[in-house]
Chains A and B, each alone.
Chain A
Amino acid sequence: MTIPASWFLTLAAVLFGVGAFGLLTRRSALIMFMCIELMLNAVNLTFVTFSRSLHDVAGQASVFFVMVVAAAEVTVGLAIVVAVFRRRRSAGVDDLSELKG
């Protein structure tokens, strides 16, 4: 018998939690982006697990689109990090605190 879906779903939930914790506690914009990638991967794993359990290929198509959006997001996000670093000589999100109103 193959591995049950619940194991994969639990793994994905724990991975999402680790990513969310990193996003909430780290202060380097680069690390925060990596944590967002972790959370996106957890969601992808959930999609694939449901796709296997329900014999529906739509879940895998969704993962494909999530990957494309993640690539676009990282491209723009890292460009913003580069632009901020040019101005502030730092990639920490604390240095952007004057952005608040």
Chain B
Amino acid sequence: MIAATYAIPDLLVFIAAAAMVLVGAVGVISFRNPVHSAISLILTLLGVAVAFVEQEAHFLAAVQVIVYAGAIVVLFLFVIMFLGIDEREDVSVEPLIGQRPLAYASVLVTVGGILAMLSRGGWVTGAQTVTGPTEVMNGTTPDNVMAVGQSVFTTYLFAFEATAALLIIAVVGAVLLARRERVTEEGVEVA
């Protein structure tokens, strides 16, 4: 019945994306070794990229693979290897009493609340196209990159420049935080 309503390729792609996302996410929170968690984080990120492609957000799918699966997970793996903290964390101990049942309850309430609100409100409501160019999204010009680029470099130009400053500040801050201090006779020397 479902297959009759929706096109088979779309359905298969969605099922594949959902399986990748959920299997990867459960892997991230259940593997004891941080390296394994990072690897299954890649699976989730690629699944989200597939979902982006299915929703015709091609530029974001590419950025997702390059920035997230490429840069961020590599940074995670680099820190894990650099610190040598690939020892296993014992997930069975519960240092705070009642932490896990409370976490279960609050997550269930949150997700259930989100889904109940969405389904009662008809899932997607709101004004169509306040800022973006529709004709590009509607498929007359099949160029998602152009639409996003026009939006980022005109409407959101100030935010774009602010993120550039943010990235510089973050890099400087990371270097400052991670540098090693060496104590000599003259005092603290920064190496």
Contacts and interface: CB of A to CB of B under 8 A. Distances in A.
Interface of A: 1-11, 13-22, 24-28, 30-31, 33-35, 37-38, 41, 44-45, 48-58, 60-61, 63-65, 67-76, 78-83, 85-86, 90-92, 94
Interface in B144-175: 144, 147-148, 150-152, 155-156, 159-160, 163, 166-167, 169-171, 173-175
Interface string B19-36: 001100110110000100
Contacts of B25: 15, 18-19, 38
Interface string B78-108: 0110110100010100010001101110111
B132 A14 contact: no
Given A6-B118, A18-B22, A18-B29, A38 B41 contact: yes
A18 B107 CA distance: 8
Nearest to A38: B25
A45 to B, nearest CB: 6
A6 to B, nearest CB: 4
Interface of B: 5-7, 10-11, 14, 17-18, 21-22, 25-26, 28-29, 34, 37-38, 41, 44-45, 48, 51-52, 54-57, 59-60, 63-64, 67-68, 71-72, 75-76, 79-80, 82-83, 85, 89, 91, 95, 99-100, 102-104, 106-108, 110-111, 114-115, 118-119, 123-124, 126-134, 136-138, 144, 147-148, 150-152, 155-156, 159-160, 163, 166-167, 169-171, 173-178, 180
A82 B148 contact: no
Contact of A38 (B44, B108, B170): B44
Given A37-B41, A55-B134, A91 B163 contact: no
A60 B148 contact: yes
At the interface, is chain A mostly helix, strand, loop or mixed? helix
B131 A72 contact: no
Contact of A21 (B64, B103, B136, B150): B103
A82 B82 contact: yes
Given A17-B108, A38-B41, 13 more contacts: A3-B14, A6-B124, A9-B123, A14-B111, A25-B103, A26-B29, A26-B91, A27-B89, A30-B85, A41-B44, A60-B151, A63-B60, A79-B175
B156 A65 contact: yes
Contacts of B160: 65
A40 to B, nearest CB: 9
